[in-house]
Structure 1
Amino acid sequence: MEEQTRTTETLSKGQELRVEAQPQQPVSVKVNFGKAELLGTELVAGKEYKLSSESQPIFTWHGCSIAHTATTDAAYVAEETPMRQMLNLHAALENQRQKAHDSNGQGPRIMVVGPDFSGKSSCCRILANYACRMYRTPILVDVDPNDNFFGMPCCVAAAPVTQPADAISGFVDATPVFFHFGHTTVKGNSKFYAKAVERLGKTVQAKLSEDDKARASGVVVNCPTCPSDTLLQIQAAFNCDVICVLDQERLVNELKRKLTASKVDGVKILKIPKSGGVIPLETEAKLRRTQERIRQYFYGVPHHNPFMPHSVSIPFSRLRLFKVGAPEVPLDCLPIGAKRTEHELELEPILKFSVDLLRHVVSVVGCEMTANSDQIKYSALCGFVVIESYNEERDSIKLLAPAPDRLPSTVFLLHETSFSDTS
């Protein structure tokens, strides 16, 4: 194993230390003196942080000294960062929040859009953290089914955030509401994605109508990379009045044109430069990050906030297991006079176990066994489990569950993702 050495960097005000770790090797950093922050979360001086293997930007407004381990491919100090623009954006949003608080009105609802690896989630995390540091409680919405703030891919989720994210494990204290999607990309089932976003939007609007502080604090929406028509569906679902576009002039013009054509007024479109520290991930790295997200849901963050999952056995006959989206039936195979249904929204039951189900993640739906199709598809989720094994003799399956308690529901929806537990 390569011996770790420690390097000290002295940052002037407005500079950013960008640390890029080798795959599966965490980086230890410590602020020796001064003040620094990681995506809007202030780092405690003298405390050592073990950061993940992704690029980590540590910024200082006033100057600081940072020590870090030397197991990195690169660690360099950047002069140009988008943090000043982010602070200006935060100040404008905070002004709207204060006006909303004084008038008991609606605070800003901002959605962040852009191409892959433009820093959308980083931007949302900074804005949410800065709002929390002003004692606001914004609702953080993540409709990116591939890289969700709240841990589990193939879903859309939202949660009020009451304090800044933990530097290592993120918004661990948030209590999100999840809705099932089942795919890691919007194009996996765009019709069902639109329905899931619409359902989440109604849930968020209901929360805003009953919580004065959340309403004044507003909403921050992290969007996936998707067509502009899908972005407009997201804008409508959450009634966003600010669209922040990262590093894509063409998308700015396209959204302006389509909003005008749709006669949607009162929406500001802002262009924000992306950080130079954003690193595109190869396919293997994307898959590894997806696995890590699932692992953290069940096992937490090692050496920081570990969890202890449990195995639960249940007869397969007691389950109602479904997949959203059925194969399209050719027109010439339909009965005379029959019309083709929206096969993307059909609920396909899985009545027999097959080895293809092993290791797959499934959503545990918060509904009764007697629930109808729409209730199953559009109910909020209780959590997630993984199908570990099948006992043919007993016709039972063993599930990896986050808690030893009895499952709150035995209505399951299948994800396209699987989880290889190597713990």
Structure 2
Amino acid sequence: MAFSLPGLGLAADNSFAAPSADLPSAKSQVARTERLGERTEWRFEVAFGKNYSIKLTSGEAELWGTELAPSQTYNFSGYKGAIFTWQGCSLEVLGEAESEYVGQETEYAVEWLNVHGMLETLRDEAAAAGVHGEGPRVLVVGPDAVGKSSLVRSLTAWGVKVGRTPTVLNLDSREGLLAPAGSLTAVTASSQTEVESGYGIAPVSGPTASPVKTPLVYGWPFPSPTENSEAFKALLTHAALHVTGKLEANTDAKRSGLIVDTPGSLNDPKSNYDILSHIISEFSITLILTIGSERLYNDLNRRFNQSRGDDKAIPVLRLTKPGGAVESDASFLKQARAQNVRQYFFGLPQIPLNPHSHSVPFSELNIYRAKSASTSDDQDFKSGAAAEDDDYEPDGASHDSPGALYEKIEPSTALMASLVAIKLCPGTHVDDREIRDSAVMGYLYVADVDETKKRVRFLAPHPQRWGDRALVWGSLPEPVADLVT
């Protein structure tokens, strides 16, 4: 399976109008200068719909490992971040923020940089070993809102800066990495991350200033692996085969290693340590980094390091939680996912995109709803025995049988404003396992469902039709009602 998504073909005619890329202007105010001492950081939280800009006027600074260019203005909205400086700097700040201050407790940065140095040593050892050398495979675990994704992004940026091409695997379906929420994404980073947009936007969204990133995307349209842990583990097994295969095919990527980001829900020892064990086994993890949980560190250290022999022991390190790591409320996270969907179809302010309209009759669609524990008692779209049992059968079950993970549905207005994933598998004569394991070709937005004319109008990033493909609808991402007018 190639690490690819379809490119965007721009067309002159388009029935959808992109929402304005301009944000409401900030209150009239004069830009202010903030001077930061060595090993301090400027922490800020900006609400959605507000303008907030930062310019580096002297010294050096970085945002999660990515250096700020001097005298360039960076704009943020709906964002929480921390700009760190090792030797001190001056920033020009303009706009409204819900919170902004100079953070003094930054011991975590030294720890994170030391981890980067350790990974570089392991990569050098892999290069010295020749064709059989393998770089570090790192698993980052901990509760929500402790800085896991920031750590992964920093390690990736520092690695790219010194000429490495690490592969990042995001297993938190609530976060969209080069894809909307409801995705599990693997991407080999061959170019520097960007200050404003992080890993950037996928090639499905159009041209970018940086080299094209080609992610491998799988669908998990649920907020947690625990919605169906057996199906999640089976999907990981399948994904591990393709990720490992890509690493074997690219010597630089193989030596640069793998960094795996995980959802905070796996921090629960009662129900989810078996999923962590599965990840460690399937992706051949060689180093575990824990943040924000002393219990998790000790449990994993005892299970994977101290209790094993020297040849099988996996080092487990405990890192400091960044002082600026704050928990986001449900409303903020939902708005962030909606913003991610908008960017997928309409791009960024500096890279506007032109999505395409497709009107498709019901008879040409094969739409499947991904079922979870939360939908097992919901009778909408249920039929017969499919509503009786929601236990998944790992060996694959027909989507019309009891225990099926997917059920085929007739399009209805319940789909409106939702996203559906286009799977790289046929839409007919396909079983649960094939739908589950197939990579995602791209996403469609359901703009309108006409039950009288029996047609569905989709918003798509590509001008061409997707053919006979299975379309999967789940609980993530949530419907975005105001995407089109």
TM-score over 0.5 for the pair? yes
From 469, 476, 480, the equivalent of 1:410 is 469
For the aligned residue pairs, the C-alpha RMSD in angstroms reads: 2.3
Deviation of 1:345 after TM superposition, in Å, equals 4.9
Q: Map of 1:4-403 to 2, 5 A cutoff? A: 4-81=29-106, 82-104=108-130, 105-172=133-200, 173-225=212-264, 226=266, 227-259=272-304, 265-302=312-349, 304-325=350-371, 327=376, 342=393, 345-350=404-409, 352-370=410-428, 372-373=430-431, 374-403=433-462
State the alpha-carbon separation in 2 of the partners of residues 413 and 97 from structure 1.
39
Deviation of 1:209 after TM superposition, in Å, equals 1.4
Task: Give 2:45's aligned amino acid.
Answer: E
Deviation of 1:169 after TM superposition, in Å, equals 1.5
Task: Give 2:110's aligned amino acid.
Answer: R
Q: Which moved more, 1:168-177 or 1:27-36?
A: 168-177
Task: Give 2:482's aligned amino acid.
Answer: D
Relative distance call for 1:191 and 1:4 in structure 2 (3 A) is farther
- Spell out, residue by residue over 1:120-165, the C-alpha distance to the aligned partner (whole angstroms, 9 max, x if none): 1000000000110011111110000101322311121101110121
> Which 5+ residue runs of structure 2 have no aligned equivalent?
1-25, 201-211, 267-271, 378-383, 394-401
Deviation of 1:409 after TM superposition, in Å, equals 4.7
Q: Which moved more, 1:9-18 or 1:114-123?
A: 9-18
Report if the CA contact (8 A) 2:305-2:316 is conserved. Answer: no
- Spell out, residue by residue over 1:62-116, the C-alpha distance to the aligned partner (whole angstroms, 9 max, x if none): 2211111141132211122111111100000011011111213000011111111
Task: Give 2:237's aligned amino acid.
Answer: E
Report if the CA contact (8 A) 2:305-2:313 is conserved. Answer: no
Report if the CA contact (8 A) 1:324-1:344 is conserved. Answer: no
Deviation of 1:407 after TM superposition, in Å, equals 2.1
Report if the CA contact (8 A) 1:247-1:273 is conserved. Answer: yes
Relative distance call for 1:153 and 1:22 in structure 2 (3 A) is closer
Relative distance call for 1:115 and 1:421 in structure 2 (3 A) is same
State the alpha-carbon separation in 2 of the partners of residues 242 and 345 from structure 1.
36
State the alpha-carbon separation in 2 of the partners of residues 165 and 67 from structure 1.
22
User: What TM-score results when the alignment is normalised by the length of structure 1?
Assistant: 0.92
Relative distance call for 1:409 and 1:224 in structure 2 (3 A) is farther
> Which 5+ residue runs of structure 1 have no aligned equivalent?
none
Task: Give 1:364's aligned amino acid.
Answer: I
SS of structure 2 residue aligned to 1:55: strand
User: What TM-score results when the alignment is normalised by the length of structure 2?
Assistant: 0.81
- Spell out, residue by residue over 1:321-343, the C-alpha distance to the aligned partner (whole angstroms, 9 max, x if none): 11233748xxxx98xxx9x8636
Relative distance call for 1:261 and 1:78 in structure 2 (3 A) is closer
The 4+ residue runs of structure 1 with deviation greater than 4 A are 260-264
- Spell out, residue by residue over 1:168-201, the C-alpha distance to the aligned partner (whole angstroms, 9 max, x if none): 1222242111111111222222222222222221
Higher relative contact order (CA 8 A, sep 6+): 2
What is the identity percentage for the equivalent residue pairs of Structure 1 and Structure 2? 29
Relative distance call for 1:76 and 1:260 in structure 2 (3 A) is closer
Task: Give 2:94's aligned amino acid.
Answer: T
